[in-house]
């Protein structure tokens, strides 16, 4: 098992736009395994590579028994929307209602470079949108209305894990071709 530390809100890598994966090799498969092991240990419904300090367009998910990963995702969203509770492993213990598309069709690749399409509604759609947001430097509290966002930022300031100090920057064990902190 290769559980890695999860980067917390305030870490600059969480606000960076992740770079597309261009090499589907053993290092990428190790990254997918690390993401999966860390997500399951947390436990969480999804985990994106930037949350481990790796600025590449990769995420894993585990929703209602469906385990998977997606690389270089491209999303098509339904017009129908849903509101529902959302949390994030980079904001431990905080949950807020967030508006998302009800359905999603996500196209990308698996860790071997094979094309993959994932279709989902409700919780799976929410998870895929949430993790893809991480790849674009967006955190779910950015999508909250003004009042909820203020409440979330206040809760973050008061959280035990938010000591106000700049987060430590650690070198990723994965090759990122110079695209990570």
Catalytically active residues are 131
- Phi first, then psi: give them for residue 44, nearest 5 degrees: -145, 170
Residue 56 · residue 18 · CB < 8 Å? yes
Q: Determine the Cα–Cα distance for residues 73 and 63; give it in Å rounded to an integer.
A: 17
H-state helical runs in 54-114 = none
Peptide bond just before 43 cis, omega within 30 deg: yes
Residue with tokens 């359905």: 103
What is the CB neighbour count within 10 angstroms for residue 46?
Answer: 26
């Amino acid at each position: 098992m290769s559980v890695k530390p999860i980067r917390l809100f305030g870490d600059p890598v969480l606000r960076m736009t992740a770079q597309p994966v261009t090499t589907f090799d053993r290092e990428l498969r190790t990254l997918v395994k690390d993401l999966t092991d860390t997500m399951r240990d947390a436990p969480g419904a999804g985990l994106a590579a930037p949350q481990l300090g790796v600025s590449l367009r990769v995420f894993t998910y585990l929703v209602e028994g469906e385990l998977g990963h997606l690389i270089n995702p491209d999303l098509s969203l339904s017009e129908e929307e849903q509101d529902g509770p959302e949390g994030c492993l980079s904001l431990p213990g905080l949950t807020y209602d967030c508006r998302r598309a009800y359905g999603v069709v996500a196209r990308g690749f698996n860790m071997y470079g094979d094309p993959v399409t994932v279709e989902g509604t409700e919780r799976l759609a929410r998870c895929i949108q949430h993790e893809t947001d991480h790849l674009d430097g967006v955190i779910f509290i950015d999508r909250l209305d003004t009042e909820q966002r203020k409440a979330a930022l206040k809760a973050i300031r008061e959280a035990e894990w938010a000591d106000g100090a700049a987060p430590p920057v650690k070198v990723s064990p994965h090759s990122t071709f110079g695209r990570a902190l």
